[in-house]
Amino acid sequence: WGLVARGSSRYARFSQFVRPPARTLDYTRKILAHQEPRHLGHNPLGAWMIVTLLATLVAICATGWLYTTDRFWGETWVENVHIAASYFVLALVALHVAGVIFSSLRHGENLVAAMLHGRKRAPGPGDVP
């Protein structure tokens, strides 16, 4: 969806929300200083969380499939990577939920509702598109 989103889904496009590491680090510093701006789309940490979740899910699927092939059946490393990635994605989901709750409370808006209907309150001064 991040590759093909059009129209009202512009905030779902990877080109809109994935930010360079330097901007993400700057955003993290602003969080620690309680000065982070509200984002109309994904904030830099949320964007990298989505990328990490997707990459981990790809790893889980790939290792799960590899384990069914004749060449990799019974390979310990494939099983270990699959299990580790599975546990890692659970930790990422917990962090993602915590981040959504944190941002919702910090900016006074229901991000879960915004994810479902695709709307947020109007931009204010200092908000980042």
What is the rounded end-to-end Cα distance, in angstroms, of the chain? 19
Mean pLDDT (the chain) is: 85
Read off the pLDDT of each residue in 102-118 and give the average, rounded to a whole number: 82
Alpha-carbon distance of 107 to 77, in angstroms, equals: 44
Q: For 48-58, what is each residue's pLDDT tens digit?
A: 998 899 999 99
pTM as predicted = 0.77
Read off the pLDDT of each residue in 28-34 and give the average, rounded to a whole number: 93
Angle 99-110-106 from CA coordinates, rounded to 5° = 50
